[in-house]
Amino acid sequence: MSAQQQNLTNSQDIYKKISKFIPETEWKIHVPLIEKINKLKKEKNAIILAHNYQTPEIYHGVADIAADSLALAVEAAKTSADKIIMCGVHFMAETAKLMNPTKKVFLPDMQAGCSLASSITGKDVRLLKEKYPGVPVVSYVNTSADVKAETDVCCTSANAVKVVESLNVDKVIFLPDQYLADYVSKNTKVKIISWKGTCIVHEQFTGKEIEDIKFQNPGIKIIAHPECPPDVIKASDFAGSTSGMVKYVKDNQPKKVMLVTECSMSDNVEADNPNVSFIKPCNLCPYMKKIDLEKILDCLENEKNEILLDDKTIEAARKSVIRMTEIGR
């Protein structure tokens, strides 16, 4: 079989999995880009990391590793590739750079930000540390390298409680997501000093919306992300991290489910669980959707949008991320 025929076969296999989410006319536009990207990344010894919120053609079509923030940070540290293309948002690309200071890390669109990351600065953290001297700082990985440099240890939604309790203290400063902080406070005896940041995706859901969906769909399982408001989590059947939500569906195979999170994640999980029926009153992340195949190809071809951090920031911020990965899930 020729290389061209093999590429065609691979593309057809991918489309069988995600055809429910992408019209055939649109897929025909994606195929040449997918094939060019997959060929070029091998030639350049590049690896493509994609977050769960990326669209199916990226997540299933070109990603070498597709996962949540914690897994991407861990895998970024393991890679032998010379170049890393982060299909996610800016803080994820910075985190990959922190884990690989000597490698080139690229973000296909430098405007792919995060409402949580932009809600707090390193200066804000320094002021909090002055107000609460001696209290350790736990920062959600959804923060800038500047914030991580002022942080004792990072966490993700997958290990937030475990990280907080690993410090063996009676109180911590927990930044920046107020709803994740509330979730953690309800699952630990440690006093949580929180910030007022929110996720633009998860803050939009309401408890009433969840109750209405349950009424309209008897027997449905509602799975919420801890970044959601407390009334949403209370109305849900299960609350867990991105990876926890994926695992719940895979392990339990509910007949009908709603993931209270980003739309593309629901599509990607559904593609991997064809026997589960998904209800999708979801919300799109406008930042994640700035990444597309054209920008990924441009990034690979021209090595555009490299993540650059000074040595001082890398040295300070890297410690908090390494500590997070050592604690694990």
Co-location of 16 and 110 in the same domain: yes
- Beta strand spans in the chain (E): 46-51, 65-67, 83-87, 104-106, 137-140, 153-155, 171-175, 191-194, 221-224, 238-239, 256-260, 277-278
Q: What is the pTM of this model?
A: 0.90
What is residue 183's predicted lDDT score, i.e. its pLDDT? 95
Return per-residue pLDDT of the chain as tens, 329 residues. 334 334 444 778 888 889 888 999 999 999 999 999 999 999 999 999 999 999 999 999 999 999 887 788 788 788 889 999 999 999 999 999 999 999 999 999 999 999 999 999 999 999 999 999 999 999 999 999 999 999 999 999 989 999 999 999 999 999 999 999 999 999 999 999 999 999 999 999 999 999 999 999 999 999 999 999 999 999 999 999 998 999 999 999 999 999 999 999 999 999 999 999 999 878 899 999 999 999 999 999 999 999 999 999 999 999 999 999 898 76
Structure tokens at 98: 């922190």
What is residue 8's predicted lDDT score, i.e. its pLDDT? 43
- 3-state helix, strand, coil split of the chain in percent (to 5) is 50, 15, 35
Co-location of 84 and 133 in the same domain: no
Co-location of 159 and 215 in the same domain: no
Is 313 among the domain residues?
Answer: no
Domain count within the chain? 3
Co-location of 124 and 80 in the same domain: no
Co-location of 159 and 254 in the same domain: no
Co-location of 26 and 45 in the same domain: yes
What is residue 2's predicted lDDT score, i.e. its pLDDT? 33
Of 198, 223, 257, the residue at which a domain comes to its end is: 198
Is 29 among the domain residues?
Answer: yes
Could you read off the pLDDT of 181-231 as tens digits, one per residue?
A: 999 999 999 999 999 999 999 999 999 999 999 999 999 999 999 999 999
Is 223 among the domain residues?
Answer: yes
Co-location of 17 and 98 in the same domain: yes
Co-location of 240 and 253 in the same domain: yes
Co-location of 106 and 14 in the same domain: yes
Co-location of 99 and 30 in the same domain: yes
Co-location of 62 and 130 in the same domain: no
What is residue 3's predicted lDDT score, i.e. its pLDDT? 44
Of 172, 198, 224, the residue at which a domain comes to its end is: 198
Co-location of 109 and 14 in the same domain: yes
Nearest to 305 by CA among 94, 143, 144, 116: 94
Is 81 among the domain residues?
Answer: yes
Is 70 among the domain residues?
Answer: yes
Task: Please answer whether residues 155 and 138 qualify as being in contact, where contact means their C-beta atoms are separated by less than 8 angstroms.
Answer: yes
Is 328 among the domain residues?
Answer: no
What SS3 state is found at 284? coil
CATH code for the domain of 10: 3.40.50.10800
Is 85 among the domain residues?
Answer: yes
What is residue 1's predicted lDDT score, i.e. its pLDDT? 36
Of 137, 166, 198, the residue at which a domain comes to its end is: 198
Structure tokens at 157: 């939604």
Domain span at residue 132? 117-198
Is 312 among the domain residues?
Answer: no
